[in-house]
Amino acid sequence: MRRFAIGLAGHPADGDDLCQMTIERALSRREQWQEGTRLDSWAYRIMRNIWIDESRARQRRGQTFIDEEAGLLVGADGAQEARIELGDIDRAMARLPEEQREAVLLVMVEGYSYKEAAEIVGCPVGTLNSRLVRGRDALMALLGEGS
Amino acid sequence: MTITPEELAAFADGELTGADKERVAAAIARDESLARQLEAHCALKARLAGHFAPVLEQPIPDRLTQMLTNDVKDEPGAANVVDFAVAREERAAKRLLPAWGWGGAVAASIAAVVVLSTYSGEPGPGYAGTQIAQMLDAQTIAEQPTDADKRVLLSFRNRDGEFCRAYNAAGEGGIACRDAKGWRLEATGQGEVGGKAQYRMAGSDREILEIAQEMAVGEALDADAEVAARKAGWRD
């Protein structure tokens, strides 16, 4: 859960906030989880919904993303965290549209099948497949690995 | 028969079965560019997995484990509910304040212009003046006092492999990269040096960090890497 949260939020501390909110919501709605279904998929679905709400709310407030520069400031302390934050991959991921980023994370990092990932996101499998390809191509271009 | 990028991705991710799988596999065997695309897909997947793997090794923050080990109350503890925006702002403020002296000093910094070319022994327009150059040569982030008025904020390498450092010197912020002549200015808070705005104007410290972010290739230098770079004179 932390890995997905950090990937979505693009920052470890934001990721942990997102995790905390997800756990709270999952606990408060735990009777809604259906036995026999995957608990992790259910939790991931809650998480990405919270993240989308938060992203929208932030846009409404007119806040800009401060993650990148905040990351640089953490780096200014010479802290280990800078290794995560300044990575090319994080910067490239941050530039992907939300729907492509979550598709890439769910399949390429979390190892979900297209069907499971599509269920978490709530879209058809074909849509998930094409978002993944677009996100992957954009990442490769950003990382200079395009073929 | 054409294989779509979607089919190729599905094949790479083990999504295809039966006839579809065989069809794509046969196409890949015939077509070298498809084989390369498959390889690139798998390489990216491995790189991403490797990048995020350390998260699993890290200890889970107490505040998360506590939520799951404490007795779960029927009402979701209102006092504990995180307000994402507030938490985020508080954290941002904590990061910003000690590192930048964010506040009046920064506002003043944009106005306070140090005319670099008035120093003697300058390497010339477009390069950092003696005082800043000395700081960039000598000071490491780990060693400098947090309240020093001349501070290096970040060290990194640019696309040419040069060492670059973002700094804030008594209100003047900038980024300089070390070349054969000296610390070449890439961005400064004063906009113009030597009458020519040949590098990017950085109107605020925030912008300087954004520019550094764009320029940086790879990770920021950590404390050890900074010491090693200093030893090498910030040149390879």
Q: Nearest-CA distance from A41 to chain B in Å? A: 18
Q: Which of A3, A27, A70 sits opposite B95 (nearest CB)?
A: A70
The pair phi, psi for residue B163, each rounded to 5°, is -80, 135
Query: How many percent of chain A have pLDDT more than 70?
Result: 80
**Higher-pLDDT residue of B204, B105:** B204
Contacts of A26 in chain B (CB under 8 A): none
Beta bridge partners of B152: B167
**Higher-pLDDT residue of B151, A7:** A7
pLDDT computed for residue B87 by the predictor: 67
Q: Are B84 and A23 within 8 A, CB to CB?
A: no
Number of compact structural domains in chain A? 1
Contacts of A126 in chain B (CB under 8 A): 6
Q: Are B91 and A70 within 8 A, CB to CB?
A: yes
Name all contacts of B176-179 with Cβ < 8 Å and 24+ positions apart: B176/B127, B176/B128, B176/B132, B176/B133, B176/B136, B178/B136, B178/B233, B178/B234, B178/B235
**What is chain A's mean pLDDT, rounded?**
80
Whether residue A93 is contained in a domain is answered as yes
pLDDT computed for residue B151 by the predictor: 79
Query: Is the pLDDT reported for residue A146 higher than 60?
Result: no
State how far the Cα of B65 lies from the Cα of B71, in Å rounded to an integer. 12
Q: Are B220 and A83 within 8 A, CB to CB?
A: yes
Q: Are B64 and A139 within 8 A, CB to CB?
A: no
Average pLDDT over every residue of A19-28: 88
- Tokens found for residue B112: 């306070």
- Domain enclosing residue A29, as ranges: 2-142
The pair phi, psi for residue A61, each rounded to 5°, is -75, -5
For B100-139, the pLDDT digits (tens) are: 333 444 333 333 333 333 334 556 788 888 888 888 988 8
Q: Which of A7, A23, A137 sits opposite B64 (nearest CB)?
A: A23
Question: How does residue B88 score in pLDDT terms, banded at 50, 70 and 90?
Answer: low
Domain at A37, CATH number: 1.20.140.160
Contacts of A80 in chain B (CB under 8 A): 222
Q: Which residues, numbered 37 to 66 in chain A, qualify as contacts with chain B under a Cβ-Cβ cut-off of 8 Å? A: 54, 57-58, 61, 63, 66
Query: Is the pLDDT reported for residue A75 higher than 90?
Result: no
Contacts of A78 in chain B (CB under 8 A): 140-142, 221-223, 226
Helix (H, G, I), strand (E, B) or coil at B155: strand
Query: Is the pLDDT reported for residue B204 higher than 80?
Result: no
pLDDT computed for residue B128 by the predictor: 85
Q: Are B142 and A78 within 8 A, CB to CB?
A: yes
Average pLDDT over every residue of B211-225: 82
Average pLDDT over every residue of B220-230: 86
Taking residue A90's Cβ as centre, other Cβ atoms within 10 Å add up to: 20
Contacts of B156 in chain A (CB under 8 A): 86
Question: How does residue B65 score in pLDDT terms, banded at 50, 70 and 90?
Answer: confident
Q: Are A66 and B54 within 8 A, CB to CB?
A: no
Question: How does residue A24 score in pLDDT terms, banded at 50, 70 and 90?
Answer: confident
Query: How many percent of chain B have pLDDT more than 90?
Result: 21
Q: Nearest-CA distance from A101 to chain B in Å? A: 12
Average pLDDT over every residue of B58-87: 62
**Higher-pLDDT residue of A20, B169:** A20
**What is chain B's mean pLDDT, rounded?**
74
Query: Is the pLDDT reported for residue A107 higher than 80?
Result: yes
**Higher-pLDDT residue of B228, B218:** B228
Question: How does residue A67 score in pLDDT terms, banded at 50, 70 and 90?
Answer: very low
Whether residue A147 is contained in a domain is answered as no
State how far the Cα of B63 lies from the Cα of A96, in Å rounded to an integer. 30
Asked if A104 and A132 touch (Cβ cutoff 8 Å), the reply is: yes
pLDDT computed for residue A40 by the predictor: 86
Average pLDDT over every residue of B166-182: 83
Taking alpha carbons only, the member of B202, B231, B215 closest to residue B164 is: B215
Q: Are A20 and B9 within 8 A, CB to CB?
A: no
Question: How does residue A61 score in pLDDT terms, banded at 50, 70 and 90?
Answer: low
Average pLDDT over every residue of A59-83: 48
- Tokens found for residue B170: 């008594």
Q: Are B64 and A7 within 8 A, CB to CB?
A: no
For residue B76, CA distances in Å to A97, B67, B72, B83, B95 come to: 33, 11, 8, 14, 30
**Helix residue spans in chain B (DSSP H):** 5-12, 18-30, 32-57, 62-69, 84-100, 104-111, 130-138, 205-215, 223-231
